[in-house]
């Protein structure tokens, strides 16, 4: 296993596992939109931290041949998480506005 800053590749794997678990949790909690949005944002932050850590590890090692295109996947996943959180937020605002309109219609 490669060592980066005295930490083995297992730490990278743990971060990817946590981000995957958070994304799965966000996927399965579609009835609780605020929680879903927060888990998607938290997963995106973890993935951005992982990407920064991978970039630091890349620029601090002399052997650049062990890296390939797969190291940009965390940033792509973070962007998709942020887009998902925006969509969840838009859906929540739509539900709230329709509930407000329904409540106003009942009063008249």
User: Cβ contacts of residue 48 below 8 Å, gap of 6+?
Assistant: 74, 75, 78
Q: What is the pTM of this model?
A: 0.82
Q: Which of 26-30, 56-60, 63-67: highest mean pLDDT?
A: 26-30
Is 99 a residue whose pLDDT tops 90?
A: no
pLDDT tens-digit map of 60-74? 877 766 667 778 899
Average pLDDT, the chain: 86
Q: CA 5 → CA 57, 65, 70, distances in Å?
A: 8, 18, 21
Is 46 a residue whose pLDDT tops 90?
A: yes
The H-or-E segment that residue 107 falls in is: helix 73-107
Angle between helices 33-60 and 9-28 (to 10 degrees): 160
pLDDT band at 34 (very low <50, low <70, confident <90, very high): very high
């Amino acid at each position: 296993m490669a060592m980066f800053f005295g930490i083995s590749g297992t730490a990278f794997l743990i971060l990817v596992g946590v981000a995957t678990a958070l994304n799965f949790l966000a996927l399965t909690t579609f009835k609780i939109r605020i929680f879903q949005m927060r888990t998607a944002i938290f997963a995106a932050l973890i993935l951005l931290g992982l990407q920064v850590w991978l970039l630091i590890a890349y620029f601090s090692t002399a052997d650049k041949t062990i890296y390939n295109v797969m190291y940009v996947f965390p940033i792509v996943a973070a962007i998709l998480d942020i887009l998902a959180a925006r969509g969840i937020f838009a859906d929540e605002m739509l539900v709230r506005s329709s509930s407000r309109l329904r409540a106003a219609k009942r009063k008249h």
